[in-house]
Amino acid sequence: MDAEEIFDLIVRADEKLKYATAANADVRRMQARELLGEALAAARDAGNDALISQAEFRLLDLDTAD
């Protein structure tokens, strides 16, 4: 997976959270966490430190928001 595809996963995760409603917030958080996990794994495989940091930061933020 290239850097653009990894970044797209991070953006998609952000959008899941951005457009979540009260009725689907838990599902959206779970979907975002899955996308970010995929992005983190791909960034690690690619050795892209910037994207690793982005994915880790967003996962940490998501975990502290719960």
Task: Give the mean pLDDT of 36-55.
Answer: 98
Residue 25: closest CA among 16, 35, 33, 34: 16
Residue 38 structure tokens: 């995929």
Question: pLDDT value at position 66?
Answer: 60
Residue 55 φ then ψ, to 5°? -65, -45
Cβ distance 65 to 20 under 8 Å?
no
pLDDT at 8 over 70: yes
pTM of the shown model: 0.93
Question: pLDDT value at position 65?
Answer: 73
Task: Give the mean pLDDT of 8-18.
Answer: 97
Question: pLDDT value at position 10?
Answer: 98
